[in-house]
Amino acid sequence: MKKIGIVGAGIAGLAASVRMASRGYEVEVFEANPYPGGKLSQFELDGFRFDAGPSLFTMPQYVLDVFQAAGIDPSGRFEYDRLKTVCNYFWEDGTRLSAHADEDAFASEVEEKLGVSAAQIKKILADSERKYKYTGQTFLEKSLHKLSTWTNWPILKSMLLIPTFDLFTNMNAVNERLAQHPKLVQLFNRFATYNGSNPYKAPGLLTIIPYFEHRIGAFLPKGGMHDITQALYELAQEKGVKFHFSCPVEEILVEGGAAAGLKVNGEHQAFDRVISNMDAFFTYEKLLPHARHPKRILRQEKSTSALIFYWGIKKQFPELDLHNILFSDDYRTEFNHLANGKVYEDPTIYINITQKYCPEDAPEGMENWFVMVNAPYDSGQDWEQIIARTRTQVIEKTSRILGTDIEPLIACEETLQPLTIQSKTASHLGALYGTSSNNKMAAFLRHPNFSRRIKNLYFCGGSVHPGGGIPLCLLSAKIVDDVMHAG
C-alpha cells in the first residue's frame, strides 16, 4: 500500500486526506497546531463560543462531494441551513437594507430602499450566473497548469467568450455600469474582499461571486462553522487517516528529483507522495530549503489581512442577523489606505453573530460578536497602535449606527491581527488568501497544485490554485486528486 504524507490539517488538508484514504492509500497528516482546521477553528471565552476564522459558508456541495468521494452518506453527520437573510447592510446616513435569500424579495428591497428597479437587480445576478457557468469549470474546478484542461470543446467555447466576461476591466467599473446607485455599487464591490482583493483593481470577472451567495445561497452548519472542520476530521479518521498534532514538519525530503518523505522531530519518515497544505511561501522557505524556489510566484502581491475583535456582548440586537456590514462612507479611500499598508479611520465593519442561529454560543440574553475590519498584510506596522486606534473607531461607528453605546456591553474580548494570523496559521505576512486577485491574470499566476520540478509533490490550500476561502480550498484538494490520478 502506498503512503501519502500531508503537511497541515487545514480544511484543504482534511479534504485531501479523505480523498487519498478513500483511494486506498495509507495517509498520515502532520499539524503544527494541537487541533485540526487551520483558520477554520473555534475557541471559547467566558461562556461565549467563537468561530475563529471563516464565517461565510457557500457552495456546500463541495463539502458533500468529499463525503461522496468517501462513499459515505453525510445525512446526520453534516447538516446545515440555508439562510433566509444573506446579510444586513447599514450606512451612516440611516439607510438599511436586508439582502434576502429570496431573489424577488431582495430585488424588491433594493427597489424600495435605493430606487434601482427590481428588473435591474435580476439582470445583475443573471450576469453573475452567466459568467460563473462559463468560467467556473475552467478557472475554479480544474488545474490551469495542465494542457488537458485547455483541449476540450466546452473549455475552448468558454475561452471564445472571454471578451464578454469583463476580464479586462475592473470590478468597480462593471458594478458602476450595472448597479446604477453608489450604495448598490458599494454592496457589490465588497465581494472583492472575499479573496482579499481591491474592487478598483481586481478584474471584472470577479463579479461572478454574487452568484454563489444570491442564487445558490448562503448557509450555516448546525453547530457553527467549526462543524465543517469537525465533520471532515471525523470522516478522515473513519477512513483510517492518522493525525499527528503539535507536530510541525521540518523538511520535505527530496531524493532523485522526487518527494520521498518528511522530516519530523528530527526523524526521516518515508512517503511515496507528499501533499503540502502549508502556505506555498513557507513550504519553500522552511520545508524545501535546497529546492529551486518559484520566485516570481512567491513575490506576487499579497491579499489583504484582517483585524478581528471577538466580543461577548451583554445585550441582544434584533436589527442584526448572522452577517452584518456597516459600510465606510468612502470605499475607494478605504482601499487606497489598504494598498498603502494602513487601516482606514472609517473602516467598513463586518459583524458575525452565530448566536442568532446557535443560541448555545452565548449566555442567555447575550451575543457573540465576531467583528472584523479589512487590514493590510504585515509590512512592519505598529500593530499595537493600530489595534488601539481601530478599536475606538469601530466602537464609535457601531454605537452611532445602532444607537447604543457598545463599549459598556463588552463582557470579554480577544483580538486577532496579521502577526498572530501568521503565527497561528503560517499564512505569510498574515495575508488571509495568499496572493491577491488584483491582476487580471491572477488566476494563472497562482502556484499550481503540483510541482513542476519535484515529482510526487502536490499543493492544496488557500495560497495555491484556485484560491482562498472554504469552497476554493476544498476544490484545491479535489484538483490534487484529479491531477495525481489523471490518465
Q: What is the pLDDT of residues 465-477, one digit of tens each?
A: 998 899 999 999 9
| Predicted confidence (pLDDT) at residue 147 exceeds the cutoff of 60 | no
Q: For the sheet containing 258-264, what is the strand order?
A: 249-255, 258-264, 267-270
Q: What integer pLDDT is reported at residue 167 of this predicted model?
A: 77
The helix (run of H) or strand (run of E) holding residue 258 is strand 258-264
Backbone φ and ψ of 293, nearest 5°: -90, 140
Of 486, 470, 86, 17, the closest CA to residue 241 belongs to: 17
* Helix axis angle, 11-22 to 470-484, nearest 10°: 30
Lowest mean pLDDT among 16-30, 163-177, 342-356, 372-386: 163-177
pLDDT, one tens digit per residue, over 3-56 is 999 999 999 999 999 999 999 999 999 999 999 999 999 999 999 999 999 999
d(CA 349, CA 32): 31
| Predicted confidence (pLDDT) at residue 71 exceeds the cutoff of 90 | yes
Q: What integer pLDDT is reported at residue 422 of this predicted model?
A: 96
Q: What integer pLDDT is reported at residue 165 of this predicted model?
A: 74
Q: What integer pLDDT is reported at residue 157 of this predicted model?
A: 63
CATH assignment, 3-40+57-75+223-300+440-484 = 3.50.50.60
Looking at per-residue confidence, does 437 or 212 come out higher?
Answer: 212
| Stated pTM of the model | 0.94
| Predicted confidence (pLDDT) at residue 300 exceeds the cutoff of 90 | no
Q: What integer pLDDT is reported at residue 136 of this predicted model?
A: 73
Rounded CA Rg of the chain: 22
Q: What integer pLDDT is reported at residue 144 of this predicted model?
A: 64
Q: Is-contact 139 133, C-beta < 8 A?
A: no
Backbone φ and ψ of 421, nearest 5°: -60, -45
Q: What integer pLDDT is reported at residue 64 of this predicted model?
A: 97
* Mean pLDDT for all residues in the chain: 93
Tell me which long-range contacts 257-266 makes (C-beta under 8 A, separation of at least 24): 257/453, 257/454, 257/455, 258/454, 258/455, 258/456, 258/457, 259/451, 259/454, 259/455, 259/456, 259/457, 260/456, 261/5, 262/5, 262/7, 262/30, 264/30
**Cα angle at 86 between 129 and 400, to 5 degrees?**
130
Q: What integer pLDDT is reported at residue 442 of this predicted model?
A: 61
User: 486 falls in which pLDDT band (50, 70, 90)?
Assistant: confident
User: 173 falls in which pLDDT band (50, 70, 90)?
Assistant: very high
pLDDT, one tens digit per residue, over 309-337 is 999 999 999 999 999 999 999 999 999 99
User: 295 falls in which pLDDT band (50, 70, 90)?
Assistant: confident
pLDDT, one tens digit per residue, over 372-384 is 999 999 999 999 9
Q: What integer pLDDT is reported at residue 137 of this predicted model?
A: 66
> Distance of alpha carbon 180 from its chain centroid, rounded?
29
Q: Is-contact 412 446, C-beta < 8 A?
A: no
Given CA atoms 437, 440, 446, 448 in this order, what sign does their dihedral have?
positive
Per-domain boundaries in the chain: 3-40+57-75+223-300+440-484
User: 347 falls in which pLDDT band (50, 70, 90)?
Assistant: very high
Q: What integer pLDDT is reported at residue 168 of this predicted model?
A: 82
d(CA 464, CA 350): 26
